[in-house]
Amino acid sequence: MRTLEQIAADPRVTIRNPNLLNPDGECVVYWMRCSQRGEDNDAANAAVEVANLLGKPVVVFFGLVAHSVRANLRHYSFLAEGLLDIADALQRRNISFVLRRFPEHSILKFCEEVRPALVISDENPLRESVSIREKVARKLKVAFWTVDSNVVIPSKLLLKEQYSAHIIRNRLAPLIKDFLIPSRDAHAKVAWKEPHRLVSTPLQPNILDDLKIDRSVQPVSSVRGGSKEAARWLREFIKHKLAAYPKQRNHPEAEGTSRLSAYLHFGHIGPKTIALAVQQAPKAAKDVFLDQLITWRELAVNFARFNPNYDNFESGEPWALRSLGQHQKDERPVRYNERQLENAETYDDLWNAAQMQMVNQGWMHNYVRMYWAKKILEWSPSAAVAYQIAVRLNDKYEIDGRDPNGYMGIAWAIVGKFDRPWFERPIFGTIRYMSLASTGKKFDSKKFIAQNLGH
């Protein structure tokens, strides 16, 4: 068993305010935010460790807000479908779960009611989440720690923005053996005695019914949120798709990917869980898959953490911004406005199919997503406008929208992030170009179009 000092010194842990633990506190609170799961969760495990050392109970608090940036019913429904799995997993560990909806979602108000010895939360690098976290850190009157629980390697260890997959891959490699180890999902030794008249929202199917959220985009009926569903998708991937992953991952019509990105985004499953589950796969398949799961995903987290412009044009590489600027006035033979793009009203059936896959299914295969973003650049009045259109459409329809991975993908496609200069051409300058003809040679584009457009 680790000491309190050892837990606090863990590289995953960041101490957010100077307050000391309150020895008279009634419990340890885990303010759950992006790691929405009750098992294999380093933040939850740290809370249990500390609570057991102090002889106190653990209570998890989750605030269901109504104003998450660019979130709509599609995102909220996926989130809500995971709540019961969280409560069930926590109950098995003798951990209590309190859910409150907007406008009663304040962690500060909850802490005034339950008087914690310590508050622990999980980390999200996106600016809105960081802003809320810093505000809470300033106002909490007890110690506040956060745990980097949605990556394999704690992102603060890299210190600054990494500029390529090659660089970050080499820096992550020697650290993996220290952090890619099974979580110790210990039980809380002390049960929480809920204070009299404490308010907690019941976990009911209609939990979103009267919440004032954007309802313009409907949920996807073919996929459900939650840790149990995430585990099922993982089992199916390992059993039926992983061995062929190196060949099939860039074939959108074959759907040879894991489809776990939405579950990773909401924290319904952790990257360590996935990485450890594929260890017995053939080496070639395992290596290619883990490079996507760890190298590229953690490069995206690093990008969001250290680059304040992660979701706009200014995130681009200097060479790319110069080149795009030089071609700013190039004639665009075809232009589409955002409404036309959103409705898939272009001459390009492959692009339309990619857009409709996202609108109807809540996801887009990564290979066609690159093509999708590059065509938006070609059809927009400027790269800056293209970037914002891509972000808005991605965040509106993708279940895993509003995520570092999505922002990195758009930055790669439009402003050359993590790429290199290519042959110069109109509009694109030296940004890598993708054509319908070249893309169609790599996979069965006619089949993909038929799957998503019906022809």
Q: What is the pLDDT of residues 266-294, one digit of tens each?
A: 999 999 999 999 999 999 999 999 999 99
DSSP code, position 344: T
Residue 197 pLDDT level (bands cut at 50, 70, 90): confident
- What are the structure tokens assigned to 247, written together? 């060949």
Q: Is pLDDT larger for residue 7 or for residue 1? A: 7
The packing angle between helices 165-179 and 297-306, to 10°, is 110
Q: pLDDT (tens digit, 9 = 90+) per residue, 431-450? A: 999 988 888 778 999 999 99
Instruction: Give the residues across from 101 on adjacent strands.
Output: 64
Say what the pLDDT of residue 254 is: 80
DSSP for 179-216, written as a single string: H-S----PPPSS---PPTT-------TTTTTT-----S
Domain(s) labelled CATH 1.10.579.10 in the chain stretch across 313-453
- Tell me which CATH code domain 227-306 carries: 1.25.40.80
**What is the tens place of the pLDDT at every residue in 97-123?**
999 999 999 999 999 999 999 999 999
What pLDDT score does 437 carry? 84
The phi, psi pair for 421, rounded to 5°, reads -65, 145
- Percent composition of the chain: helix, strand, coil (DSSP 3-state, to 5): 50, 10, 45
Amino acid occupying residue 409 = G
pLDDT band at 1 (very low <50, low <70, confident <90, very high): confident
Question: What is the DSSP annotation of 102-153?
Answer: TTS--HHHHHHHH-EEEEEEE---SHHHHHHHHHHHHH-SSEEEEE--SSSS
Instruction: Report the chain's terminal Cα–Cα distance, integer Å.
Output: 61
Nearest 10 degrees: Cα torsion 11, 289, 228, 399: 90
Q: Residue 14 forms beta bridges with which residues?
A: 146
Q: Tell me the mean pLDDT in the region 407-422.
A: 97
pLDDT of residue 389: 98
CB 80 within 8 A of CB 74: no
Q: What is the pLDDT of residue 100?
A: 96
Q: What is the CA radius of gyration of the chain?
A: 23
For residue 429, give both structure tokens.
């300058």
Q: Is the dihedral of CA 355, 361, 365, 366 positive or negative?
A: positive
246 pLDDT exceeds 90? yes
Least confident range from 142-146, 194-198, 212-216, 373-377: namely: 194-198
Residues of the chain with CATH 1.25.40.80: 227-306
> For residue 151, is pLDDT > 90?
yes
Q: pLDDT over 70 for what percent of the chain? A: 100
Phi first, then psi, for residue 105 (nearest 5°) are -95, 5
Residues 377-392 pLDDT 10s? 999 999 999 999 999 9
Q: What is the pLDDT of residue 431?
A: 97
- Check residue 103 and give left, alpha or beta (phi > 0: left; psi -120 to 50: alpha): alpha
Under the banding of pLDDT at 50, 70 and 90, the label for residue 23 is confident
Domain with CATH 3.40.50.620 in the chain: 4-150
Q: Is the pLDDT of residue 14 over 80?
A: yes
- Strands across the sheet containing 143-147: 13-15, 143-147, 116-122, 27-31, 58-64, 96-101
- Average pLDDT of the chain, as a whole number: 95
Q: Answer yes or no: is pLDDT of 455 > 80.
A: no
Band the pLDDT of 81: cuts 50, 70, 90: very high
| CATH match of 313-453 with 3.10.180.10 | no
352's enclosing H/E stretch is helix 349-361
Strand bridging mode 27-31 / 116-122 = parallel
Q: Which fold does the domain 4-150 belong to in CATH?
A: Rossmann fold (3.40.50)
Q: Pairing state of beta strands 143-147 and 58-64?
A: unpaired
Give the pLDDT score at 436. Answer: 86
Residue 41's nearest CA partner among 18, 58, 19, 53 is 58
